[in-house]
């Protein structure tokens, strides 16, 4: 799949060619619908799929292939996150927690527990607003900087990793990520623990291989049970 810049260049060339055809050969402008439709589809899927690398490069698989890489979004949660931490400790696993800034602010002690137990805290925006994808670059930067400050207060270190809400990217988010020199982290396997039942999620996780980045959420009641069963099965195999 071409990236955003390549797509724009191709689209402009096609439009110029078709308009020239209209002038020279009386082509119907109705044909413009085809490139416009294709362009729109590419923008949609490029935005929706964080691992398409369409707007900005994202890490969706790790070069360290000795283990799977667990990630958790949307916390910290006052009840679920501590359960997740206990399970990770039980199986001697480390993980990345992409925390929402407002939740770090509300539950600083749980955020500190994540760090103190050897896990990594990443930026998942401050508000996780449903409209985050429509924010202007300046507002995206403000959210990321505010969350990075909270993370630094907890860990004492600059946060260098970011996962956008819903895994959506666009030009404004890409500009903000580049401006702040952040590494975008995607995933290889989306567990779908927010919308699927335990059996379905575990079935999806059967394909996990060393090096894969797996997306969970430490905000769902059944995720600890799913994680426990998955790690028990994975480690035994």
**Angle at 109 (CA atoms; ends 84, 114), nearest 5 degrees:** 40
CA pair distance 71, 97, nearest whole angstrom: 6
CA pair distance 32, 164, nearest whole angstrom: 33
CA pair distance 204, 164, nearest whole angstrom: 23
**Angle at 73 (CA atoms; ends 62, 50), nearest 5 degrees:** 55
Cis peptide before 184 (omega within 30 of 0): no
How far from 76 is each of 25, 195, 218, CA to CA, in Å?
A: 62, 19, 7
Is 73 among the catalytic positions? yes
Per the structure block, which two tokens stand in for 178? 């580049």
Among the listed residues 73, 193, 212, 218, the single catalytic one is 73
Among the listed residues 119, 212, 217, 218, the single catalytic one is 217
- 3-state SS, residue 161: strand
CA pair distance 96, 47, nearest whole angstrom: 23
Q: For the packed helices 108-116 and 137-155, what is the interaxial angle rounded to 10 degrees? A: 70
Is 217 among the catalytic positions? yes
Active site residues: 73, 217
């Amino acid at each position: 799949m071409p990236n955003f810049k390549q797509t724009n260049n191709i689209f402009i060339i096609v439009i110029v060619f078709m308009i020239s055809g209209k002038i020279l050969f009386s082509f119907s402008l109705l044909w413009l619908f085809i490139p416009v439709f294709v362009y729109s589809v590419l923008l949609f899927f490029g935005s929706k799929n964080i691992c398409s690398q369409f707007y900005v490069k994202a890490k969706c698989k790790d070069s360290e292939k000795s283990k799977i890489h667990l990630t958790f979004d949307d916390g910290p949660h006052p009840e679920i996150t501590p359960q997740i931490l206990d399970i990770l400790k039980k199986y001697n696993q480390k993980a990345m927690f992409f925390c929402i800034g407002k939740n770090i602010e509300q539950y600083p002690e749980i955020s500190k527990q994540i760090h103190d137990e050897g896990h990594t805290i990443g930026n998942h925006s401050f508000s996780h607003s449903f409209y985050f994808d429509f924010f202007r670059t300046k507002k995206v930067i403000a959210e990321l900087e505010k969350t990075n400050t909270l993370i630094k207060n907890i860990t004492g270190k600059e946060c260098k990793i970011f996962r956008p809400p819903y895994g959506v990217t666009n030009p404004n988010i890409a500009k903000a990520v580049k401006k702040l020199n952040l590494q975008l982290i995607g995933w290889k396997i989306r567990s779908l623990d927010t919308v699927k039942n335990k059996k379905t999620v575990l079935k999806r996780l059967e394909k996990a291989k060393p090096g894969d980045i797996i997306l969970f959420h430490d905000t769902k009641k059944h995720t600890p049970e799913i994680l426990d069963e998955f790690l028990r099965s994975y480690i035994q195999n």
